[in-house]
Amino acid sequence: MAGERDALTGEPLERRAIISGAAQSDVGRRLYRTGIDLTVEAALGAIEDAGLTAADIDGVSTYPGFGGSFGGAMGAELHEALRLSLNWRSAGVETAGPLGAVHNAILAVAAGLARHVLVFRTVFEGSGGPLRPGGRGGGGGGMAGSAGPFQFMIPYGAASAACWVACYARRHMHDYGTTRTQLGAIAVNGRANAAANPKAIYTEPMTIDDYLAVRMVSEPLCLYDCDVPCDGSTAVVVSHRDYAPDAPAAAVGINAMGTAIRGRPSWDQFDDLTSMMMHHTAASMWERTELTVADVDAAQLYDGFSWLTLAWIEAMGFCGKGESGPFIEGGANIAPDGPVPLNTSGGQLSAGRLHGYGHLHEAVMQLRGTANIGVPGCEVVAVGAGGGPETGCLLLTKGPS
* Cβ-based nearer residue to another protein, 63 or 224: 224
Q: Is 269 in the site for another protein (CB under 8 A)?
A: yes
Taking the C-alpha atoms of residue 133 and residue 167, their distance in angstroms, rounded to an integer, is 30
* Cβ-based nearer residue to another protein, 54 or 154: 154
Region from 181-189, 209-217, 323-331, 364-372 binding another protein, contact rule CB under 8 A? 209-217
Taking the C-alpha atoms of residue 57 and residue 137, their distance in angstroms, rounded to an integer, is 39
Closest approach, Cβ 221 to another protein, in A, equals 8
| Cα-Cα-Cα-Cα dihedral sign, residues 161, 163, 165, 168 | negative
Q: Is 147 in the site for another protein (CB under 8 A)?
A: yes
Region from 4-12, 55-63, 88-96, 211-219 binding another protein, contact rule CB under 8 A? 211-219
Exposure of 182 in the CB half-sphere (CA atoms within 13 A): 19
Q: Is 158 in the site for another protein (CB under 8 A)?
A: yes
* Cβ-based nearer residue to another protein, 194 or 276: 276
Closest approach, Cβ 22 to another protein, in A, equals 35
Region from 35-43, 99-107, 267-275, 361-369 binding another protein, contact rule CB under 8 A? 267-275
Q: Which of 60, 167, 261, 371 binds another protein (CB under 8 A)?
A: 167
* Cβ-based nearer residue to another protein, 73 or 153: 153
Q: Which of 29, 79, 132, 171 binds another protein (CB under 8 A)?
A: 171
Q: Which of residues 123-142 bind another protein (CB under 8 A)?
A: 136, 138, 140-141
Q: Order of strands, edge to edge, in the sheet holding 116-124?
A: 88-91, 59-62, 116-124, 231-240, 17-24, 252-258, 390-398, 380-387, 298-301
CA angle 245, 250, 255 (to 5 degrees): 90
Q: Is 248 in the site for another protein (CB under 8 A)?
A: no
Q: Which of residues 270-329 bind another protein (CB under 8 A)?
A: 271, 273
Closest approach, Cβ 59 to another protein, in A, equals 37
Please, which residues bridge with residue 221 across strands?
A: 218
Q: Is 163 in the site for another protein (CB under 8 A)?
A: yes
Q: Is 221 in the site for another protein (CB under 8 A)?
A: yes
Q: Is 183 in the site for another protein (CB under 8 A)?
A: no
Please, where are the H alpha helices in 111-197? 161-176, 180-194
Q: Is 216 in the site for another protein (CB under 8 A)?
A: yes
Closest approach, Cβ 317 to another protein, in A, equals 24
**148-166 burial by CB neighbour count: b if 16+ within 10 A, else e?**
eebeebbeeebbbbbbbbb
DSSP result, 289-357: -S--GGG-SEEEE--SBHHHHHHHHHHHTSS-TT-HHHHHTTSGGGSTTSSS-B-TT-HHHHH---TTH
Instruction: List, in order, residues 6 or more apart from 98 with CB less than 8 Å away.
Output: 63, 64, 121, 355, 356, 357, 385, 386, 390, 392
Q: Which of 37, 56, 210, 268 binds another protein (CB under 8 A)?
A: 268
Widest CA span in the chain: 59
Region from 27-35, 147-155, 233-241, 376-384 binding another protein, contact rule CB under 8 A? 147-155
Taking the C-alpha atoms of residue 90 and residue 351, their distance in angstroms, rounded to an integer, is 28
Closest approach, Cβ 277 to another protein, in A, equals 16
Answer yes or no: are the C-beta atoms of 302 and 387 closer than 8 Å.
Answer: yes
Residues in the site for another protein, rule: CB under 8 A? 136, 138, 140-141, 144-149, 151-160, 162-163, 166-168, 170-171, 174, 215-221, 268-269, 271, 273
